Structure 1
Amino acid sequence: MRTRCGRADLVTSGVAALLQLGITQSASNGQGDRLPPDAFSISLLLIGPALLLVRRRWPVPALLGTVLVTCVYIVAGYAYGPPFLSAIIMLYTAINAGHRLVAWLTSAGFFAFIVIYMTWMAPVASPGAFHNLAVGAMILVVLTISEVVRAQRERAAERRRVAEEEERRQASEERLTMAQELHDVLAHNISLIHVQASTALHLIDDHPEQARTALATIKQASKDVLGEMRSVLNVLREGAPRSPTAGLDRLDDLVERTGLPVTRRTTGRVRPLPPGVERAVYRIIQESLTNVARHAPGAAVTLATHYGEAELRLTVTDEGSPERGSLADAGGGNGIPGMRERATALGGTLTAGPRGRGFQVEARLPLPEENA
């Protein structure tokens, strides 16, 4: 809330002062039963507009002061005009500032004052109940309009708050997604580099040509990990393109880099996948092949993909290997939990466990109706 009067308050106060003085001066000519304007009435008519300057900082005192000045003006017997203008503005301000109870009670008190004054205190005969009802109706109109404006502002503020919370939630989810992408990229490529480096060291003396192949794989893997990390981190830059960092169009390169004998089987009606599902499928395959390279290097792998009516079923199965992986004791890591989180986030499921001498990962991911 603003604590100092600004240009808008100065304009509002000035316009209210001009209207109250000017219209009251003109209206006094036809009100012979009321006192003409004098210095005291002019000062009363100016107090209300002056209080408008502090209505944002002290809305309740300004409201009470304006209504009190208006009552004094009426009791003093001066000509009717628009002395209520400042009070109307103050009622509107108080309600929109959150002081609803004070505004309604003050309005009720002012209406009671009008009824008492017109019935027993006015210098001429009372105009009757119709006049009192008209004043009450005017007060209710002012209060109703103020309440409607306040409700609209609160709804707009609530919409902004919800939108900001949604933006924060999306930003949090995006950070988690980037962290998961970085984990998958680093885990796969670092594991692959470690396996190939171990192979190169083992073969460099007796089979230098095979060691050269392993070193070439290391070179390509390091290049790929730098490229993927750059792609993931680019989303942190303002205005950076938000495109998937991995898709099934790169699956051949992924299989070739691992150096594993992979048999691919695809059944069902093949069709394009939503970006989120395609990225999850790629990362699940990547993590599964990484685990095979770590724990069962050289094992034959079967990659089966079935496109169902409402879901995609992905199965990665290896036959096991008698050779102990160079990273078998490197710790469990977050590979399988990360794959399961990806599947769950899309409304699917993922199971992983031993199968015979090998290991199997099976993921079921729902497909939207438009893709079914």
Structure 2
Amino acid sequence: MASQPSAVPWIPPVLYTAVLAGGIYHAAVSDGPVHASRIAGFAAGLVLLLALELLKRRRWSPSTPARVAAGLLAVRLVLFSAVAVLDGSGISRALFVLVPFTAYLAFGRRAGLVCGVGCVALLVTGYTLWVPRWWVRAEYVSDLLMFGLGLALAGSMAAVAVREQQARARLEGVLAELEDSHARLSEYALRVAELSTADERNRVAREIHDSLGHHLTAVAIQLEKAEAFRELDPPASAKAVSDARWSAGRALTEVRESVSALRDARPFSLTRALADLVRHLGNDRLTVTLHVTGDEAGYDAESLTALYRAAQEALTNAHRHGRATRIDVTAAYGESTARLVVADNGQGFTTAPTARPSGTGFGIRGMRERVELLGGNVDIDDSPAPRAAGGAVVTVTVPRSPLLSGSI
């Protein structure tokens, strides 16, 4: 067992100094003969004890190995005995209270108790051998009682010191754990920040594609149409320019609505946005109809926005890639889920000349990510066999209470 670091290192030097001062003072005022050699030996023993404490503190601080502690205790015991023999005042007997005190600190409570009992037994044995009938002499009985009281006080101080050391060690352990936890939390926070940045980057990419991308695509299509019909059909060309102007204005409006939503402005209305979208998308070559059932009240803005972006993507794909002439949009608000269905009579995803396989484009992938974050589902059916009209059907459902509100 390793020695505990001393929580009260000042006690031994103070006691040594007090004993030295008391012994010298007793020699100075005593009426009996003064033996210079005894006084010198007495003082030298106490100086050696002081040097031993200094060596221990410098060489084996903050804790002392068990073998070294045992050796130092034995050396102290020898020096205590020598000083007691050379001391004519008897005050040096107080030094022996340090034996159980030091043993308690170094080896624990049991060792301190054993040493304390041993010191009392040693004192009683000395009295018995050299002081006849000492038990009837008040001064010796008083000395024994005071010595026992000193041992008790020393043991109590040692117990308090040990508990203090243990509490300090536990506190240091807790602080080390806190530092480790802080380091891990900092690492986790960095990872969360990186993931949040990636999520935000993906969200912005989806917003740009689904909103600005959709309207810019519509502007490009309408301008191409205006250019193609400028001489052949001036009214159709003028209408295409008007539709392109509306798409550009709608893109600006959606940007403003997104900013307003962040500022808690007027809530987004899916029904109104779908009606506006369908009304301006239809023309003499494309018929777009909208059917709405139920009430969108109770659905959060994230879910409604996800359905609107899905409608934009599906309408763009049907018109541009599927070359549809008729598109039916149905929005149904139920008690627990809202459903959007976009069905067209075009060429579908896999058969359209400019389309990629179903669900592989960035827009479809972004649509799935957006809806799945809310706990919803996207289903795309572009096999024309079950439907005489052919084309594709995109069905999107979202729950009334999204799983991760605010994640899109």
Instruction: State the TM-score, normalized to the length of structure 2.
Output: 0.57
* Residue equivalent to 1:299: 325
CA distance in 2, matches of 1:87, 1:191: 78
**Structure 1 portions without partners, runs of 5+:** 1-19, 36-72, 89-106, 235-239
1:76 to 48, 51, 64: 51
CA distance in 1, matches of 2:264, 2:184: 29
* Residue equivalent to 1:190: 216
Check if 1:153 corresponds to 2:186.
no
* Residue equivalent to 2:290: 264
**Alpha-carbon shift at residue 147 of structure 1 (Å):** 0.5
* Residue equivalent to 1:203: 229
**Alpha-carbon shift at residue 288 of structure 1 (Å):** 0.8
Aligned 8 A contact 2:298 2:400 in 1: no
The one-letter code matched in structure 2 to 1:345 is: L
> Larger Rg: 1 or 2?
2
The one-letter code matched in structure 2 to 1:204 is: R
**Structure 2 portions without partners, runs of 5+:** 1-7, 22-47, 81-95, 109-157, 404-408
SS of residue matched to 1:205: coil
Aligned 8 A contact 1:305 1:312 in 2: yes
The one-letter code matched in structure 1 to 2:319 is: A
Check if 1:253 corresponds to 2:276.
yes
Number of residue pairs matched by the alignment: 281
* Residue equivalent to 2:391: 358
* Residue equivalent to 2:148: none
**Alpha-carbon shift at residue 365 of structure 1 (Å):** 1.6
When residues 231 and 199 of structure 1 are mapped into structure 2, their CA distance, relative to the original with a 3 A threshold, is same
1:168 to 187, 194, 206: 194
**Alpha-carbon shift at residue 257 of structure 1 (Å):** 3.1
2:14 to 28, 39, 44: 28
* Residue equivalent to 2:31: none
* Residue equivalent to 2:153: none
1:274-322 C-alpha deviation (Å, 9 max, x unpaired): 232122111100001111221355622222222233322211112348x
CA distance in 1, matches of 2:294, 2:269: 20
When residues 173 and 74 of structure 1 are mapped into structure 2, their CA distance, relative to the original with a 3 A threshold, is farther
CA distance in 1, matches of 2:162, 2:69: 9
Aligned 8 A contact 1:244 1:279 in 2: no
1:104-129 C-alpha deviation (Å, 9 max, x unpaired): xxx4x446543442244453245224
Check if 1:335 corresponds to 2:310.
no
**Alpha-carbon shift at residue 144 of structure 1 (Å):** 1.6
When residues 300 and 111 of structure 1 are mapped into structure 2, their CA distance, relative to the original with a 3 A threshold, is same
Check if 1:114 corresponds to 2:69.
yes
List aligned pairs for 1:305-324, cutoff 5 A.
305-320=331-346
Provide the identity percentage.
Answer: 24
2:374 to 346, 351, 370: 346
Aligned 8 A contact 1:189 1:221 in 2: yes
The one-letter code matched in structure 1 to 2:397 is: R
1:202-221 C-alpha deviation (Å, 9 max, x unpaired): 43224322221110111232
CA distance in 1, matches of 2:168, 2:49: 20
* Residue equivalent to 1:11: none
Aligned 8 A contact 1:199 1:214 in 2: yes
Aligned 8 A contact 1:31 1:79 in 2: no
CA distance in 1, matches of 2:105, 2:11: 23
CA distance in 2, matches of 1:157, 1:252: 53
1:188-211 C-alpha deviation (Å, 9 max, x unpaired): 223312321232234322432222
